[in-house]
């Protein structure tokens, strides 16, 4: 739902021009030795006694959890109209998504182990406070029992405007019920950024399948292995999905053009949102303004933040469409991308693997993965067969880098090599030993704090 990284302090007194925006992207170029890995990690809070979604404002709700954590650990409040919507300490944040999902955004690190260490430390600090409130955090992709009709939006102005605007039939599900993991990676040049962007887009449908983890919603089996991914297919086609045709001839400017041509939801002025509600796109705003307001670089940053493609370009590459997972698979996800995107030989092998598939093949796979995950087909192949090759290429690259990060793939390999996803295990248990008991599902996906 957000990038977690402020990308610019650029100010412009004259009318905003595209060259000002391009600087946001080129400023992200950095030497390969400084390339880091970032994670934004959302989880679903539920009351352990009822398995229902934890609310914001009750005595044992999420707002009071944030207050208590800030007091115990000396974190600063992030507020919206005096309502606490998150906490910050240095470059790390704990923020709330629209339905009270708790997101950790950790300062990017050179080593995945350092991200894991920071998350484990935060989990250990949160655990006793959550326990007092009877709240469990779930490593799962969709609310297992409560649906959006019983989950109120947190008191954050932008979420009300987003809920009003987003027109897809499952946009409320996406906003209020789902939790995912985003992975972020650096680039050294525009050419490097576009190559990573192109490869990441082609990887995403397979990665969504590998980590599918949301088959049970509203207390019933949905028939989808990733109901979260289904909700993104039905949120807003103007701002979701692939950017363009995953074309080889692509640039920062091409990406920016897609953002500019997307309808605007709102802008901020003097701490207050100005509702635009799709009346114009950003390109028109740059040309003519809106009701006396002139565009600023901050307006573009907001517009880019309200653009939700499978892969988002800023001063880093953000890869977005993965269910929240447990059993350490969140780090396996990072390791696969890192192994491939930060290794030239691996990039070559992935490009060779994908060269026979067309844009239409990837687009069709994206639509089939929510239901079928690794059982989906791409051209004449199963997604499972391609996923095995992806895992092999990533592992080989990680071994070559000699940082020991291939260890994060160990548990995942046992599933992927047999075409099995986290969702398949849940479905088997749900219809077997769990006897459709929601409490057993909650216990299984509960975070190991």
Cα dihedral: 81, 99, 324, 255 (round 10): -60
pLDDT, mean of residues 158-185: 97
Contact between 295 and 285 under an 8 Å Cβ cutoff? The reply is yes
Residue % of the chain over a pLDDT of 90 = 95
4: confidence class by pLDDT, cuts 50, 70, 90: very low
Strands (E), 356-418: 377-378, 381-382
pLDDT, mean of residues 18-41: 97
Q: Is the pLDDT of residue 170 over 80?
A: yes
Contact between 42 and 103 under an 8 Å Cβ cutoff? The reply is yes
Q: Is the pLDDT of residue 367 over 80?
A: yes
Cα dihedral: 207, 366, 238, 199 (round 10): 50
User: CA-to-CA distance for 278 and 14, rounded, in angstroms?
Assistant: 25
Q: Which two tokens stand for residue 330?
A: 């969140």
Q: Give residue 359's pLDDT.
A: 96
Cα dihedral: 110, 113, 114, 115 (round 10): 90
Q: Is the pLDDT of residue 15 over 90?
A: no
User: CA-to-CA distance for 418 and 217, rounded, in angstroms?
Assistant: 25
Question: How far is the CA of 278 from the CAs of 170, 236, 251, 307, in angstroms?
Answer: 19, 12, 26, 13
User: CA-to-CA distance for 29 and 190, rounded, in angstroms?
Assistant: 7
Q: Give residue 99's pLDDT.
A: 98
* pLDDT tens for each residue of 369-379: 999 999 999 99
* pLDDT tens for each residue of 64-121: 999 999 999 999 999 999 999 999 999 999 999 999 999 999 999 999 999 999 999 9
Question: How far is the CA of 58 from the CAs of 62, 63, 324, 350, in angstroms?
Answer: 8, 8, 26, 49
Q: Is the pLDDT of residue 248 over 80?
A: no
User: CA-to-CA distance for 70 and 156, rounded, in angstroms?
Assistant: 19
13: confidence class by pLDDT, cuts 50, 70, 90: low
Average pLDDT in the chain: 95
3: confidence class by pLDDT, cuts 50, 70, 90: very low
Question: How far is the CA of 243 from the CAs of 194, 256, 264, 286, 420, in angstroms?
Answer: 12, 10, 17, 21, 29
Q: Is the pLDDT of residue 221 over 80?
A: yes
pLDDT, mean of residues 267-280: 96
Contact between 298 and 22 under an 8 Å Cβ cutoff? The reply is no
Q: Is the pLDDT of residue 321 over 70?
A: yes
Contact between 108 and 38 under an 8 Å Cβ cutoff? The reply is yes
249: confidence class by pLDDT, cuts 50, 70, 90: confident
Q: Is the pLDDT of residue 5 over 60?
A: no
Domains of the chain: 18-434 (3.30.590.20)
Q: Give residue 449's pLDDT.
A: 72
409: phi then psi, degrees, rounded to nearest 5: -90, -10
pTM of the model: 0.95
Contact between 223 and 178 under an 8 Å Cβ cutoff? The reply is no
The SS3 call for residue 379 is coil
Q: Give residue 423's pLDDT.
A: 98
Q: Give residue 14's pLDDT.
A: 74
DSSP state of 242: -
* pLDDT tens for each residue of 428-443: 999 999 999 999 999 9
Q: Give residue 252's pLDDT.
A: 97
In sequence order, the 6+-apart residues with CB closer than 8 A to the CB of 364 are 378
pLDDT, mean of residues 315-324: 97
Q: Is the pLDDT of residue 11 over 60?
A: no
Give me the long-range contacts of 402-405 (CB less than 8 A, separation at least 24). Answer: 403/111, 405/111, 405/112, 405/113, 405/335, 405/338, 405/339
User: CA-to-CA distance for 242 and 226, rounded, in angstroms?
Assistant: 18
* pLDDT tens for each residue of 174-219: 999 999 999 999 999 999 999 999 999 999 999 999 999 999 999 9
Contact between 88 and 96 under an 8 Å Cβ cutoff? The reply is no
Strands 308-309 and 240-241: parallel
DSSP state of 424: H
User: CA-to-CA distance for 32 and 22, rounded, in angstroms?
Assistant: 21
437 CB-contact burial (10 Å; exposed 0-12 / middle 13-18 / buried 19+): middle
182: phi then psi, degrees, rounded to nearest 5: -110, 140
Q: What is the largest CA-CA distance in the chain?
A: 66
């Amino acid at each position: 739902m957000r990038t977690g990284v402020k990308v610019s302090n650029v100010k412009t007194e004259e009318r905003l021009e595209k060259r000002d925006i391009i600087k946001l992207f080129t400023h992200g170029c950095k030497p390969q030795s400084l390339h880091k890995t970032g994670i934004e990690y959302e989880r679903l809070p539920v009351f352990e006694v009822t398995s229902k979604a934890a609310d914001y404002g009750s005595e044992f709700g999420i707002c009071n959890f944030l207050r208590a954590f800030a007091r115990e650990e000396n974190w600063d409040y992030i507020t919206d109209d005096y309502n606490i919507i998150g906490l910050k300490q240095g470059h790390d944040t704990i923020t709330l998504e629209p339905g009270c999902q708790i997101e950790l955004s950790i300062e990017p690190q050179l080593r995945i182990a350092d991200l894991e260490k920071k998350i484990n430390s935060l989990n250990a600090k949160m655990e006793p406070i959550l326990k007092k409130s009877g709240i469990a955090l779930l490593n799962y992709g969709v609310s297992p029992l409560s649906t959006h009709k019983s989950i109120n939006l947190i008191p954050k102005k932008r979420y009300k405007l987003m809920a009003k605007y987003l027109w897809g039939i499952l946009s409320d599900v996406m906003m209020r019920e789902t939790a995912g993991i985003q992975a972020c990676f650096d680039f050294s040049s525009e050419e490097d950024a576009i190559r990573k962007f192109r490869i990441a887009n082609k990887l995403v449908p397979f990665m969504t399948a590998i980590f599918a983890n949301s088959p049970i919603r509203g207390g019933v089996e949905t028939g989808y292995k990733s109901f979260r991914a289904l909700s993104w297919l039905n949120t807003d086609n103007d701002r979701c999905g692939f950017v363009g045709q995953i074309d080889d001839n692509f640039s920062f400017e091409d990406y920016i053009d897609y953002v500019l041509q997307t309808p605007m939801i709102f802008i901020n002025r003097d701490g207050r949102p100005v509702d635009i509600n799709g009346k114009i796109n950003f390109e028109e705003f740059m040309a003519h303004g809106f009701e006396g307001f002139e565009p600023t670089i901050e307006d573009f940053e907001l517009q880019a933040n309200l653009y939700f493609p499978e892969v988002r370009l800023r001063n880093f590459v953000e890869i977005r469409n993965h269910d929240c997972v447990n059993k350490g698979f969140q780090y396996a996800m990072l390791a696969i991308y890192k192994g491939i995107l930060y290794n030239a030989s691996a990039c070559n092998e992935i490009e060779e693997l994908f060269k026979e598939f067309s844009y239409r093949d990837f687009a069709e796979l994206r639509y089939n993965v929510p239901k079928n995950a690794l059982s989906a087909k791409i051209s004449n192949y199963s997604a499972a067969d391609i996923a095995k090759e992806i895992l092999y290429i990533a592992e080989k690259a990680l071994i070559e880098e000699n940082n020991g990060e291939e260890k994060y793939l160990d548990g995942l390999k046992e599933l992927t090599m047999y075409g099995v996803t986290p969702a398949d295990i849940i479905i088997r248990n749900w219809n077997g030993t769990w006897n459709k008991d929601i409490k057993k599902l909650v216990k299984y996906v509960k975070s190991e704090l």
